[in-house]
Structure 1
């Protein structure tokens, strides 16, 4: 599902267009079981890895890229520690 959207972004954005992204990553290790954690979705299609993000956005230059643990406070189901991928990238073709 998300990969289809990524493909559409590649087609729709002109050279110089910018993507700002944040999504939950597969990585959840490093967060102790006794700590509050936010895993985001349980739908594996909505979880991301650095490799698949970089492959999906090959036509983009990454200005910022971060994968790591953050503290979330975004409502009932997004509260606690979570592992995310965040990036800002500009289309170069």
Structure 2
């Protein structure tokens, strides 16, 4: 899987563009900046935006190509991000150390999804925020991005179970028009969640 992402990110263009995800942008503008974590951050468009908004950003991904492009993007925007090269299972941060957790299209293999989602939630401080957007299971019928394995796509029930430790969790399923670089373009079935610990 690591080779897949390194190959995708090796192109000169940014696979998903350099603009932040629209839902993330909307949510971050409502919050007071603090410490924020971006697992599976790829080429860095969302982490860099958060840094521009005044957040103290930690991000990680297993793709060295993604890390290089994220750091290049941060430099071009004159911001700093702490971008670590590590896989999901290697992510070990202090419990309750982040004010926000962002999961944007981080589709983890089904057998590991719940374990990692619960692990990431433990890194949130009490009162910390979850911001999530990904493809719902209905996306299997579209060709506008996302895994072709329906078990890697998300349902409301799965996310409710994964993030049961949060004190609030609001989930929305919708159809939207994506315009995120070459690989997220067109009509898509997405699922969004915001929550607090």
Look up the match of 1:83.
189
In terms of mean alpha carbon deviation, does 50-59 or 8-17 score higher?
8-17
1:48 equivalent to 2:159? Answer no
Runs of 4+ in 1 over 6 A off after TM superposition: none
Look up the match of 1:4.
115
Larger Rg: 2
- Structure 2 vs 1, CA of residues 37 and 81 (structure 1 numbering), >3 Å: closer, same or farther? farther
In 2, the alpha carbon distance for the partners of 1:44 and 1:27 equals: 9
In 1, the alpha carbon distance for the partners of 2:174 and 2:180 equals: 17
**Structure 1 length-normalised TM:** 0.76
Look up the match of 2:163.
57
Q: Which has the higher helix share?
A: 2
1:14 equivalent to 2:133? Answer no
Does 1 or 2 have the higher relative contact order (CA < 8 Å, sep 6+)?
1
- Structure 1: gaps (5+ residues): none
- Tell me the matched-pair count: 85
**Conserved in 2, the CA contact under 8 Å of 1:26 and 1:47?**
yes
- Structure 2: gaps (5+ residues): 1-111
**Conserved in 2, the CA contact under 8 Å of 1:40 and 1:82?**
no
In 2, the alpha carbon distance for the partners of 1:69 and 1:83 equals: 5
In 2, the alpha carbon distance for the partners of 1:41 and 1:75 equals: 17
**Conserved in 2, the CA contact under 8 Å of 1:2 and 1:45?**
no
Look up the match of 1:23.
134
Q: Aligned-pair RMSD on alpha carbons?
A: 2.2
Residue 3 (structure 1) shift: 2.1
Q: Secondary structure at the match of 2:137?
A: coil
Q: Secondary structure at the match of 1:27?
A: helix
**Structure 2 length-normalised TM:** 0.39
Q: Secondary structure at the match of 2:127?
A: coil
